[in-house]
């Protein structure tokens, strides 16, 4: 069964500092991986996705993530945090090739940006 672990339910960074949100997955086959962002009282917005092309994936708003098969990780980074990055971030996995199209989500990481 698929599972996703996000280390740290809350992360605080200073404005301009590096953002690192951690995500590890468990899957019997290489999955598709996603990061979504949720702003207050809004739905989820796709930041980026990994679907077996380049292992370093660039997304919107300056975010990127690297798929590391040996570490079963897909950590999200941004070189310099902006106040507008404050939100909740969800890592998700979908198992490709099985016809199972639903996403399995982590429990989320709330990012706070300190001015």
- What residues make contact with other proteins under the rule CB under 8 A? 4, 32, 34, 36, 41-46, 49, 51, 90, 92, 94, 96, 99-108
**Cβ 51 to other proteins shortest distance, Å:** 7
Looking at beta carbons only, is 19 or 23 nearer to other proteins?
23
**Cβ 97 to other proteins shortest distance, Å:** 9
DSSP one-letter code for 16: T
DSSP one-letter code for 53: S
**Cβ 81 to other proteins shortest distance, Å:** 23
Alpha carbon 84 to chain centroid, angstroms:
17
Alpha carbon 97 to chain centroid, angstroms:
21
3-class secondary-structure state, position 69: helix
Looking at beta carbons only, is 41 or 115 nearer to other proteins?
41
Between the two ends of the chain, the Cα-to-Cα distance in Å is: 41
Looking at beta carbons only, is 42 or 115 nearer to other proteins?
42
């Amino acid at each position: 069964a698929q599972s996703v672990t996000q280390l740290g339910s809350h992360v605080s960074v200073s404005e301009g500092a590096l953002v690192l949100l951690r995500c590890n997955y468990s899957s019997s086959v290489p999955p598709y991986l996603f990061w979504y962002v949720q702003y207050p009282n809004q739905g989820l917005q796709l930041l980026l996705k990994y679907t077996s092309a380049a292992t370093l994936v660039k997304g919107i708003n300056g975010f990127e993530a690297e798929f590391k098969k040996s570490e079963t990780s897909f950590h999200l980074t941004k070189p310099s945090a902006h106040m507008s990055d404050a939100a909740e971030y969800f890592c998700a996995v979908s198992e490709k090739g099985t016809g199972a199209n639903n996403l399995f989500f982590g429990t989320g990481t709330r990012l706070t940006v300190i001015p």
